[in-house]
A and B are shown apart, each in its own frame.
Chain A
């Protein structure tokens, strides 16, 4: 009984230290941020219903394919990675799957005003325009034309994609994942350094460096955690973003499943050993007690 009291004191003091330096201190070091907003409520909603067939024409006439490939429609991007890096600072995305992985409100806002939708207005302005130019319309109703383009992109997007495909599409242009067989970004380092002001980190071990909740809010809105960062808002839908994080975990914490399984076996082993050790101790001490 007395030993249990002593144990309670030791456990209590240890728990205070633990709570103080882990959950409590971390809540002070990294104050909580508002939850991720997958509705993109800060962006304008026009209420226009797009027409995919019209959108296909608008897409071609607006000149999108000057900078973006549409590989799935037989229109690959014309530049190689080197010249694309040098021209734009980063290799522009192929839009074949944009309609699946990016939110439609976000896409519409992006087409009209990239710097605003990407939340990089602190970096890009009239004097220093974003490399993606705003779409000012073909002369008709701008919002309708934008809605048509988004409808077109959605119509050609695949029904589903694997996690690694989404990562490669949404993240890889700036971030390598070298622990996945040495996967590197296609953009050239000196070009992105000049464009972003820093070389974006390789994401291989990032899942161990940042919590799931951090990644969820950060990818959804980088400014929340890192005010002034040049990383743009990614605009992924909730499902697509979860898949990205899944992929990051499959590379950066590849032994998670094994760890949790083996951990239970080892603990089980010591539980059994404890029982035998307890019985042996009692047997030995019976002699002297």
Chain B
């Protein structure tokens, strides 16, 4: 057993029992981050902040929300929005933070793609990040159902129905997911469970894995430079702080993040208080009505690009029905990003601007995602349907072409 001495203060007392000084060194003051990074490297901490806001606001909402088809709508729109002091604030924070989380996830994700931070040792960071994207998507979808408004109900109807396209077991699968033959109370209560218990638990677990997976490969940097972290850390520790190419996580890296998070919060609370309709669809302020289909059913903006791929294939090809092709394309879209480390055959880690054809690939991807997103909301009729079809083909084509594009890549000058 370890030797315990009389402690000379609370820190020392804790240190003897929990090794908090070592812990602090490992996690904070001697966790090294490259110096040449820009504000895009703060998105992880912005996301953690948003997740924290989601958890805290969610806990408050949970105190008044009633997961029952007869009470859900009024518990949200009356009890929380009017009766409970500052209930509206928690709800608006929760709704807007969900949307903002996806905005920042996309920035975070595309930053990683741009700077090549998904390969050469960083594969697990990428894959755990994509798992978080998937889990957050599930959490967003299940959460959207809870107010039991028109869009809650009809989105649940459309999305659960998708599983009917799975061969052989489709129909049984839909009933199994809904817990009933139609979207009903059983559906609401199980998605409530997923939203407030299972998904948050999984998300927290994967966040830990995501952070831990950074430890050995370290955070990437703006130039894709391969740093000798031990040598650079030595320089820093002996006092050559200006010369060293690394800084500690605390306080250097976090001080920058803290500043960026603060600025972001100004924008965030502007959205919460003055500009929230983009995140809290007005249609959902009408109670769910199974007899009245809304004129336009569309998902939240962050699902639009994959939704557009789902409906992009609007004609049958031979024995394949349009909906089956769409579903297959949708499935592809959702795994494509996971496969990025496999599809990128180039060992070069550098900003896309230095990677020739990959640079073109990257900006075409951005343009295609934007087109898919916008057309995902427009009515899929006439020319719109063709735009959706071609944009979906481009998306699939991009991922099929990536191995060929990156195969013989040579690094270019900055």
Contacts and interface: CB of A to CB of B under 8 A. Distances in A.
Interface stretch (A128-136, A151-159, A254-262): A254-262
B273 A263 contact: yes
Contacts of B378: 25, 28-29
Interface in B287-316: 287, 292, 295-296, 301, 304
Nearest to B283: A209
A119 B272 CA distance: 40
Given A21-B301, A262-B89, A288-B242, A270 B374 contact: no
B308 to A, nearest CB: 11
B255 A284 contact: yes
Contact of A10 (B77, B88, B107, B283): B107
B259 A209 contact: no
Interface in A1-48: 2-3, 6-7, 10, 13-14, 16-18, 20-22, 24-25, 28-29
Interface string B325-348: 000000000000000000000000
A85 interface: no
Contacts of B295: 29
B282 interface: yes
Contact of A274 (B82, B92, B262, B270): B262
A3 B256 contact: no
Given A267-B269, A281-B256, A25 B377 contact: yes
- Output the residue of A17, A28, A285 with the most chain B CB within 10 A: A17
Contacts of A2: 38
Contact of A17 (B89, B92, B283, B374): B374
Contacts of B273: 259-260, 262-264, 266-267
Nearest to A274: B262
Which secondary structure characterizes the binding site on chain A? Answer: helix
A192 to B, nearest CB: 15
Contacts of B66: none
A211 interface: yes
A285 B379 CA distance: 51
Chain B interface extent, by class: 35 or more
A18 B40 contact: no
Contacts of A255: 81-82, 88
A156 B359 CA distance: 77
Given A210-B282, A255-B81, A263 B274 contact: yes
Contact of A205 (B77, B88, B261): B77
Interface in B37-80: 38-40, 77-78
Nearest to A6: B38
B314 to A, nearest CB: 18
A280 B258 contact: yes
A289 B266 contact: no
A206 B255 contact: no
B78 A260 contact: no
Interface in A207-224: 208-211
Interface in A171-215: 179, 198, 201, 204-206, 208-211
A230 to B, nearest CB: 14
B23 interface: no
Contact of B285 (A22, A205, A259, A273): A205
Interface string B347-382: 000000000000000000010001001101111000
B14 to A, nearest CB: 26
Contacts of B77: 179, 204-205, 208
Contacts of A284: 251-252, 255
Interface of A: 2-3, 6-7, 10, 13-14, 16-18, 20-22, 24-25, 28-29, 179, 198, 201, 204-206, 208-211, 252, 254-255, 258-260, 262-264, 266-267, 270-271, 273-274, 277-278, 280-281, 284-285, 287-289
Interface of B: 35, 38-40, 77-78, 81-82, 86, 88-89, 92, 103, 107, 236, 241-242, 244, 247, 251-252, 255-256, 258-259, 261-263, 265-266, 269-270, 272-274, 277-278, 282-287, 292, 295-296, 301, 304, 366, 370, 373-374, 376-379
26 contacts: A2-B38, A3-B38, A10-B107, A20-B377, A21-B373, A21-B376, A25-B377, A25-B378, A198-B292, A204-B78, A209-B283, A255-B82, A262-B89, A263-B273, A267-B270, A270-B269, A273-B265, A277-B259, A281-B258, A281-B259, A284-B251, A287-B241, A288-B35, A288-B236, A288-B241, A288-B242
